[in-house]
Amino acid sequence: MGGGGENHTMEQETLVKVLIVEDNLFDAKAVAELFRNISHDGFALTFAETLEKAKDAHEKERADLILLDLNLPDSFGPQTLTRAVKLFGDQPIVVMTGFYEERLGVELIKKGAQDYLVKGKISADWLAYSIKYSIERAKIERELRKRESRLRDILEEIPDGFLVVSQDRAVIFANHGAELIYGRDRADLMSHPFTLDTDTEKPVETDLLRLDGKKMPLEVRTVETHWDSAACRLVMLRDLTSVRTLERNRDEFISKVSHELRSPLTVVKESLALVYDGAAGNVSAQQKEILKMGLDNTARLNRLIDAMLDLTKIEAGVMPVDMAKADLGALISVTAAEYTYLAAAQKITMSSELPDSPLSAYCDVEKLREVLANLVSNAIKFTPPGGYIQLSLRPWEGQALLCVENSGPGIEPQNIPLLFNKFTQVGRASPQGVKGTGLGLAISRGIVEMHRGRIWAESEPGKYCKFYVLLPLPSFEEVIKRLVHGEIELCGGGKRQLCSVTLILPPEMLKDGTGENSLAAKTEALIKTSLHNSHAILKREEGDFTILLSNSGLKECARTGAFLEKSLADLAGLPQGKAFNFIYALSYPEDFQDEDGFIKKMEETREMLNSNYSG
């Protein structure tokens, strides 16, 4: 008996409990008859004549689904559904009515019903189907509401501001982060139009003037979306105050290191050198040895300061560049030649392997030379006597692949991911007296990435080590477009200015060739040695230069143009004012708003100048 009672209980628990709210006895019997005709007997029915009694029955035993007649003694019409939704919470409700009206059915579904059935037109199978899927839909809706609630909780915790803005700039939604950024509650935000500039293509940096008078730097990101089927925009606001503070601290750090540390260190170095050379009196051999240690470590500290400054500038995106078309094969050959004597002194064979056809690219050749020098000097440190170092260059899928390979102990696999970290030195100990800064490979990676390239290492411990540098081969237009884009990003949406100055020597001024005493070479040397505020110098071809002046407005642009005009006039023996015909300037945001606008404007002016020359 006990076992049978347990099975009966389990059977009861698996039944779908249906609460039928119907005051008409005939209709109630008809519905009950439909349930008896359902092929599987899986329902437990409870009847109630009024909403109040249905509420009591539901509280006594929770129903899985409510079959609801709209016309009851204590409620009438669609209002019955509204009251039922409040009484039964998120339990699924299927409405039963005496007539079919499509508009009414849609309205009932909108008000919270899962389905809409017409009495007298319901079959047993139809009823079973409706109940089954109404229960499942209700489960899905409950899960969706939970997920929506979790997402809303996440949005409320995120410090960034999120707003939904309609096409007419009305604020439809605002999270707690937006309240903190604006210093206003969301009701106030939603009662005022959204006024900040947005761009769905790229982030916009701007300043928000709050009601308390505080100016807050913001990054605004925007995407197109829909809200209740209406097209609108999702706007994310990020407070850049801490970023700006870090940028100021970075700039102050660079300034302090370069002025407050480098200058006294130079004095210390020169003073030690004077004593070492005997300028202050005779120095014994032992004293010279001690002074030499001081000089060596002062030089090492100077190298460390230079490396830290370079790395800081690279990471901040403010490292000046000098871009020109360079033969990468010649760079390999020159580097190999520079280290051949040092390698031979340690009984190391140095060789190079070049492609049959030249590979050229617009690049900062001196910075790439620094990368190769670092890789080769490291190879010399760790190559044993009798070993080899090979530099090679070859085309690779439209790019240039450089490699520095050396025989020797190699690098353990677990150390390879650490190679390009700052202040990291892996491998066997360096030879006596040879100490690095631990920044060489980090700087090399920064320089390669500045060129949109990639650097990596491969090694077989005990046999060899290979460092690869993969460089794209961009055109002049691609290079200057990328650099201008980066400069515009640094301008922060127009908060800082940018200008470019282009100088093109006419053909008659290039007739003396390209040697170091030619006018083109002297002009290039003048630009590189005199324009210390330039962020980028680009040489398109001989006698054709474009200088990007970061954080410089119209006054600085005019000052630079005047300096170039006077200097060029002196170099070429031209009358004052004549050289202005060879120079033109563009300013952001007055003359262009993006890199495409810059290229278009620059080409128009270049064509005009070339036309003047030919005329």
**Would you state the pLDDT for residue 121?**
84
What token pair was written down for 226?
Answer: 């829909």
Q: What are phi and psi of 165, to 5 degrees?
A: -120, 130
Please report how many Cα atoms fall inside a 13 Å half-sphere around the Cα of residue 374, on the Cβ side.
Answer: 26
Query: With 60 as the cut, is the pLDDT of residue 193 above it?
Result: yes
Would residue 165 count as lying in a domain? yes
Same domain as 433, residue 338: yes
Same domain as 396, residue 284: no
Same domain as 345, residue 465: yes
Please report how many Cα atoms fall inside a 13 Å half-sphere around the Cα of residue 532, on the Cβ side.
Answer: 1
Would residue 582 count as lying in a domain? yes
Q: Which residue has the tokens 């609630």?
A: 149
Which pLDDT tens digit goes with each residue over 287-296?
888 888 888 8
Query: With 50 as the cut, is the pLDDT of residue 505 above it?
Result: yes
Q: What's the rounded mean pLDDT across residues 295-301? A: 83
Would residue 42 count as lying in a domain? yes
Alpha-carbon gap, residue 67 to 47, rounded angstroms: 10
Query: With 70 as the cut, is the pLDDT of residue 209 above it?
Result: yes
Same domain as 423, residue 523: no
Alpha-carbon gap, residue 208 to 194, rounded angstroms: 12
Chain centroid offset of residue 283 CA? 58
Per-position DSSP letters for 480-534, written without gaps between them: HHHHHHHHHHHHTTTTS-EEEEEEE--GGGGTT-SSTTSHHHHHHHHHHHH-TTE
CA angle (446 as vertex; 440, 449 as ends), nearest 5: 140
Give the three-class secondary structure for 601.
helix
Same domain as 31, residue 7: yes
Give the three-class secondary structure for 14.
helix
**Would you state the pLDDT for residue 8?**
42
**Would you state the pLDDT for residue 531?**
82
Which pLDDT tens digit goes with each residue over 518-543?
888 888 888 888 887 788 999 999 88
Give yes or no for a contact between 162 and 171, defined as CB atoms under 8 angstroms apart: no
Tally Cβ neighbours within 10 Å of residue 386. Answer: 10
In Å, how far are 241, 452, 563 from 313, measured between CA atoms? 21, 16, 27
DSSP state of 261: I
- Given 100, 121, 150, which residue is the final one in a domain? 150
Pairing of strands 161-166, 171-174: antiparallel
Tally Cβ neighbours within 10 Å of residue 369. Answer: 16
Would residue 18 count as lying in a domain? yes
Same domain as 553, residue 566: yes
Same domain as 466, residue 325: yes
Alpha-carbon gap, residue 288 to 533, rounded angstroms: 41
Same domain as 468, residue 552: no
In Å, how far are 33, 173, 367, 394, 458 from 375, measured between CA atoms? 89, 55, 13, 18, 13
Q: What's the rounded mean pLDDT across residues 78-103? A: 86
Alpha-carbon gap, residue 51 to 70, rounded angstroms: 10
Give yes or no for a contact between 524 and 612, defined as CB atoms under 8 angstroms apart: no
Would residue 244 count as lying in a domain? no
Omega cis (within 30) before 78: no
CATH number of the structural domain spanning residue 87: 3.40.50.2300
Would residue 458 count as lying in a domain? yes
CATH number of the structural domain spanning residue 585: 3.30.70.270
Would residue 261 count as lying in a domain? yes
Give yes or no for a contact between 442 and 420, defined as CB atoms under 8 angstroms apart: yes
Q: What's the rounded mean pLDDT across residues 562-570? A: 87
- Given 272, 301, 316, which residue is the final one in a domain? 316
CATH number of the structural domain spanning residue 423: 3.30.565.10
Which pLDDT tens digit goes with each residue over 22-33?
999 998 999 898
Pairing of strands 230-239, 161-166: antiparallel
Same domain as 337, residue 409: yes
Where residue 10 falls among pLDDT bands split at 50, 70, 90?
very low
Same domain as 609, residue 496: yes
Q: Taking the model in full, what pTM does it have?
A: 0.61
Same domain as 329, residue 307: no
Which pLDDT tens digit goes with each residue over 134-148?
999 999 888 888 888
In Å, how far are 35, 65, 553 from 25, measured between CA atoms? 16, 20, 88
Q: Which of 52, 68, 56 is nearest to 18 (CA)?
A: 68
Beta-bridged to residue 395, according to DSSP, are 400
Alpha-carbon gap, residue 503 to 571, rounded angstroms: 14
- Given 445, 472, 499, which residue is the final one in a domain? 472
Q: Which of 115, 93, 79, 90 is nearest to 21 (CA)?
A: 93
Alpha-carbon gap, residue 524 to 505, rounded angstroms: 11
Sign of CA dihedral 460, 374, 292, 265: negative
End-to-end Cα separation, the chain, in angstroms: 115
What token pair was written down for 501?
Answer: 């100055």
Query: With 70 as the cut, is the pLDDT of residue 613 above it?
Result: no
Would residue 385 count as lying in a domain? yes
Q: Total structural domains in the chain?
A: 5
Instruction: Name the packing angle between helices 78-88 and 102-110 (round to 10°).
Output: 20
Where residue 615 falls among pLDDT bands split at 50, 70, 90?
low
Q: What are phi and psi of 438, to 5 degrees?
A: 80, 10
Where residue 187 falls among pLDDT bands split at 50, 70, 90?
very high
Q: Among 55-59, 435-439, 503-507, 577-581, whose mean pLDDT is lowest?
A: 435-439
Q: Which residue has the tokens 């278009």?
A: 600
Residues of the domain holding 452: 321-472
In Å, how far are 2, 3, 35, 46 from 9, measured between CA atoms? 11, 10, 21, 17
Contacts of 92 (CB under 8 A, 6+ apart): 64, 65, 66, 114, 134, 135, 137, 138
Per-position DSSP letters for 185-211, written without gaps between them: -HHHHTTSB--S---SSS-EEEEEE-T
Same domain as 410, residue 436: yes
Beta-bridged to residue 503, according to DSSP, are 545, 583
